Amino acid sequence: MQFRVPQFIDVEDKIFGPFTFKQFAYLAGGAGLIFIIYKFMGLILGIIFIIPVGVLTFLLVFYKINNRPFIYYLQAGIQYLFSNRLYIWKQRIAKPEAKKADGEFSPIITQIVPMTTSSKLKDIAWSLDVQKNEQGDDEINNLIK
């Protein structure tokens, strides 16, 4: 038994002449908005708003970036502008200098292990984690050099 497999499922149907339904909706919406601006503000004052609306309408209807409609990039840009962005800074511990010019040593930054845990097992696990982390940092610094 043979089955027919649909072809070209990612191509939208042309409903209104050479336009798809989405393109026709963008075109009708842009033209309607331009007409409303023209009626309320006139041509001289309304041209300030008519040109950007016309350009946006043209981009939505005809312009594609990497074979994807412009609306995807517009949506991504708006989401980026209004979303929270989290920037994480990882502090690196500075290596102590051997000696300063005036004969003073620079302070050494050390990690303080808290002794407020309730059991010896947690203390041992904490000290192992700290030592392992320091060894890992030394190995990374040696690889960088």
The model's pTM is 0.53
> What is the C-alpha separation between 13 and 21, in angstroms, rounded?
8
What is the model's pLDDT at position 81? 93
| Confidence at residue 131, expressed as pLDDT on a 0 to 100 scale | 60
Contacts by residues 95-104 (CB-CB < 8 Å, ≥ 24 positions apart): 95/141
Q: pLDDT truncated to tens, each residue of the chain (145 aa)?
A: 788 888 878 778 788 788 889 999 999 999 999 999 999 999 999 999 999 999 999 999 999 999 899 999 999 999 999 988 887 777 777 776 655 555 555 556 666 655 555 677 777 777 776 665 555 555 555 555 5
96 in Cβ contact with 108 (< 8 Å): yes
40: left (phi over 0), alpha (psi -120 to 50) or beta: alpha
Give pLDDT, residue 112.
61
Gap between the Cα atoms of 25 and 18, Å rounded: 13
In this predicted structure, what is the pLDDT of residue 8? 78
